[in-house]
Amino acid sequence: MNLSTNKAQELRDKISQTEEELQDLRRQLVELESPVPDPSAEQESTSALDRENPVDTIPEWKWPLKEDEYSRYARQLILPTVGIRGQLRLKSTAVLVIGAGGLGCPAAAYLAGAGVGTLGVVDGDTVEASNLHRQIAHSTSRVGMMKVDSLIEYCRGLNPNVPYAPHREHLTPQNAESIVSKYDVVLDCTDHPTSRYLISDICVLLQKPLVSASALRTDGQLIVLNNPPTAQGSKEGGPCYRCVFPKPPPADSVVSCGEGGILGPVVGVMGVLQALETIKLIAAGIKEEINSTPKEKVTPSLLLFSATSTTSFRSIRMRSRRPDCFACSSKSTLTLKELHSGSLDYVQFCGVTTPVNVLKPEERITATEYNAILAKQLDKTHLLLDVREKEHFDIGSISGAVNVPFSTLQSRGKSITNGERLELEYIPDTLPPDAAIYVVCRVGNDSQLVTQKLKEMGLDKNGGRFIGDIKGGMQAWKREVDNTMPFT
């Protein structure tokens, strides 16, 4: 055993040493092959320009793109949508990608490949292993690295000609103006309503078109906002995020125990579409339109994608700007000064998500206490209701737990109000009327609501039966009792 361990270590050392040598050789080769500016050659060319008849000199490069760019972009240059004009527009446009995650990775990669002028990336997070199934520009070896740096490294590998600008921080009301003002087009690749409203507001104030997308579970949506990006109060401008979604979704629906599922290709599709819309906008001349009258009226539309529906894509026509929009209408009082001062509280606006706290201390037990009940075979005939979604439950659960997802309880709320159906469906006939019911969920929020509901339904037999939840849910169980519990 020791022998093979030593041998394996020896091999690992040898591999890393060889890899270092290989890297060094590659570096030497790159240095050798890269053209070194020759001062005498430059002198010659300057003096050649001075000559009256420069016939015997190498012809001057007279085309608008660099030589290698013609071959790099050859396949898009010959498309009517792009053409040489579109390519030059791309090359002179600075694009900002906010969020280097599931949407930002494919979006930035395609924009880098297409040859935008400058590509800025904003994100304050680092790469985690759980990101990799969908955030395809990162890699296992870059876990722990700033996402911005990881994404830029990937894009630079695709296209080293593009200047990249890292912004290693989250967008805030304080830094939004100084970051966004440097760009011509903005992509919202974030995943929370708080940032969506902030990004939309700054784009309205600075008159930047905004390509916004989102994805959750198996669905996605995409919309090009503030297009054309005319001044606040102008009826010619495209709607902003607040015109389409004047009110944020309920805070509870944003962060809940059941949250978090996402299929990699779904968010990938949406990110790719964001890049596509951005390229179309730029190639069509949005940058030139910002300072002039728009060529034609754009009809805003919301594109919906569903991976599970028979019609994968649906497009919904949207209205133009709302006459009473908080941000972009003539009634708006939103200013850069106000935004910068922090008087607009985006977190507050989107609802504060505080942990649920509806149960009394005596109605809750710790994971350790529940483990003691199990270990000592106390309370043998109790019922443990696990209210996580089935997929979470299937990955790992406490032995003997019965799975009744919170969503099932919610959707059948009406039919179970009298308690009869629930008793018949989920509570085994063999459970004595005085046997305790414990409820567990992912982090201990849903379990409280279920406990409360079961009591309201009279299942506690007027105090004859204990109903309570496990504080901190399966997260606490993993921490306190069984750290092998697979947990997502």
Which residues are marked as active site? Answer: 257, 441
Cβ(456)–Cβ(346) under 8 Å?
Answer: no
User: Which of these ranges, 4-12, 79-87, 281-289, 323-331, lies near Zn ion under the rule CB under 5 A?
Assistant: 323-331
Q: Which of 436, 439, 441 is nearest to 476 (CA)?
A: 441
Two tokens, residue 190: 């974030």
Of 146, 171, 243, 281, which one interacts with Zn ion (CB under 5 A)? 243
Q: Which of 330, 327, 300 is nearest to 316 (CA)?
A: 300
Using the minimum distance from each CB to Zn ion, give the nearer residue, 203 or 367.
203
Of 325, 356, 365, 436, which one interacts with Zn ion (CB under 5 A)? 325
Using the minimum distance from each CB to Zn ion, give the nearer residue, 318 or 457.
318
Two tokens, residue 312: 């994968």
**Phi first, then psi: what are they for 201, rounded to 5°?**
-60, -45
State how far the Cα of 126 lies from the Cα of 175, in Å rounded to an integer.
20
Minimum CB separation of residue 332 from Zn ion in Å reads: 8
x/- site string to Zn ion, residues 185 to 224, per CB under 5 A? ----------------------------------------
Using the minimum distance from each CB to Zn ion, give the nearer residue, 346 or 406.
346
User: Which of these ranges, 278-286, 318-326, 439-447, 478-486, lies near Zn ion under the rule CB under 5 A?
Assistant: 318-326
Of 205, 211, 240, 286, which one interacts with Zn ion (CB under 5 A)? 240
Using the minimum distance from each CB to Zn ion, give the nearer residue, 208 or 465.
208
328-347 residues near Zn ion, rule: CB under 5 A:
328
Minimum CB separation of residue 204 from Zn ion in Å reads: 7
User: Which of these ranges, 38-46, 324-332, 341-349, 404-412, lies near Zn ion under the rule CB under 5 A?
Assistant: 324-332
Minimum CB separation of residue 328 from Zn ion in Å reads: 3
Minimum CB separation of residue 243 from Zn ion in Å reads: 3
Minimum CB separation of residue 241 from Zn ion in Å reads: 7
Residue nearest to Zn ion (CB): 325
Of 89, 142, 208, 242, which one interacts with Zn ion (CB under 5 A)? 242
Minimum CB separation of residue 299 from Zn ion in Å reads: 16
Minimum CB separation of residue 172 from Zn ion in Å reads: 21
39-98 residues near Zn ion, rule: CB under 5 A:
none
Minimum CB separation of residue 329 from Zn ion in Å reads: 6
State how far the Cα of 379 lies from the Cα of 389, in Å rounded to an integer.
26
Cβ(334)–Cβ(201) under 8 Å?
Answer: yes
Using the minimum distance from each CB to Zn ion, give the nearer residue, 147 or 321.
321
Q: Residue 80, preceding bond cis, omega within 30 degrees?
A: no
Q: What is the largest CA-CA distance in the chain?
A: 108
Cα 155 to the center of its chain, rounded Å: 18
User: Which of these ranges, 189-197, 226-234, 239-247, 447-455, lies near Zn ion under the rule CB under 5 A?
Assistant: 239-247
User: Which of these ranges, 214-222, 291-299, 322-330, 421-429, lies near Zn ion under the rule CB under 5 A?
Assistant: 322-330
Using the minimum distance from each CB to Zn ion, give the nearer residue, 242 or 364.
242
Using the minimum distance from each CB to Zn ion, give the nearer residue, 122 or 240.
240
Minimum CB separation of residue 271 from Zn ion in Å reads: 24
User: Which of these ranges, 2-10, 74-82, 232-240, 307-315, lies near Zn ion under the rule CB under 5 A?
Assistant: 232-240
Cβ(437)–Cβ(400) under 8 Å?
Answer: no
256-275 residues near Zn ion, rule: CB under 5 A:
none
State how far the Cα of 479 lies from the Cα of 368, in Å rounded to an integer.
10
Cβ(488)–Cβ(384) under 8 Å?
Answer: no
User: Which of these ranges, 224-232, 241-249, 413-421, 455-463, lies near Zn ion under the rule CB under 5 A?
Assistant: 241-249
Q: Which of 200, 211, 210 is nearest to 173 (CA)?
A: 200
Using the minimum distance from each CB to Zn ion, give the nearer residue, 202 or 243.
243
Cβ(250)–Cβ(238) under 8 Å?
Answer: no
> How many residues bind to Zn ion according to rule CB under 5 A?
6
Two tokens, residue 469: 């939840």
Using the minimum distance from each CB to Zn ion, give the nearer residue, 150 or 227.
227
Cα 291 to the center of its chain, rounded Å: 32
Query: Which residues sit at the interface with Zn ion, rule CB under 5 A?
Result: 240, 242-243, 325, 327-328
